[in-house]
Amino acid sequence: MRGDEVELWAGEGGGASGSDGGVAGGPGSDGAGRGGSGGDTGDGSGAGAGSGGAGAPAVPDNCVAGRDGRALVCVDYEAPDPAELTVELSDLVGFRPQPPVAAMEPNGWGVAGLETNLVSSAGTHEQSGSLLGFPAEVRFVPVGYAWDYGDGETRRSGTGGARWAELSLPEFSATSTSHAFHNAGNFTITPTAVYRAEYRFAGMTWRRIEGTLDSAGTPIAAAIRQAGTVVVTGECGVVRTAPGC
């Protein structure tokens, strides 16, 4: 950015005024009056005003008046080269990664002391918009997951986990993303996807931004109950709707 001072054109004061003196009996210079009568000399001052100046020129948009009221301070703004910009996570105004899709097994309930399986998923996605004043694309890539179980415990994992059936495991089995609540109660579980971000301006390759972003998903309500012995009419593992199950 460069600042230059230029002199404001003076549009004040008009052209030359009429001459003060005239030749006897003759017209005054530029004026409308004539000389006095009689003698060899006359006073005949010109009464007409001289022609006006051309006026001040228009002030360019990149200029402002100087302190003296006459000089202009003009600044030439040179647009930055996008290739030279360093983008940070705080610059991603208007870009937000998608929240994860999460589920709980068993659905909405659990048994104190037994494992509750939690599964979360998120995918790579791109968004278009303005980044630092330039058209750009931002890509979010999931690199991990986090869980706040609502009982004071949290966990971060490199995987979103999988359902028991997909893992060929029986219910209440421990998995890489399961959690055992120690006490009965109602808890709110908050799933979070952890993303890294990449960006590119038009005609450029993808560049990675340092750091990660968290995007919280919809909280899950979990009712955890104490285990008890009940009489049932069928095998709950086979018929989940049997009385007592």
Q: Convert the pLDDT of each residue in 204-236 to its tens digit.
A: 999 999 999 999 999 999 999 998 766 666 666
Asked if the structure places residue 63 within a domain, the reply is no
Question: What is the span of the domain harbouring residue 164?
Answer: 80-225
- Report how far apart, in Å, the C-alpha atoms of 130 and of each of 12, 78, 87, 192, 200 are: 47, 19, 12, 26, 11
Asked if the structure places residue 8 within a domain, the reply is no
Q: Is the dihedral of CA 163, 165, 171, 173 positive or negative?
A: negative
Alpha-carbon distance 126 to 193, whole Å? Answer: 15
Asked if the structure places residue 27 within a domain, the reply is no
Asked if the structure places residue 35 within a domain, the reply is no
Confidence of residue 13 (pLDDT cuts 50, 70, 90): very low
Alpha-carbon distance 69 to 55, whole Å? Answer: 15
Predicted model pTM: 0.62
Confidence of residue 75 (pLDDT cuts 50, 70, 90): low
**To the nearest whole number, what is the mean pLDDT of the chain?**
79
Asked if the structure places residue 169 within a domain, the reply is yes
Which CATH number goes with the domain that contains 193?
2.60.40.10
CA 69 to chain centre: 39
Asked if the structure places residue 5 within a domain, the reply is no
Asked if the structure places residue 215 within a domain, the reply is yes
* Alpha helices (H) along the chain: 164-167
Q: What is the pLDDT of residue 177?
A: 95
Q: How many domains does the chain have?
A: 1
Judge if the upstream peptide bond of residue 106 is cis by omega within 30 degrees of 0: yes
| 105, 172 contact by CB (below 8 A) | no
* Alpha helices (H) along 89-214: 164-167
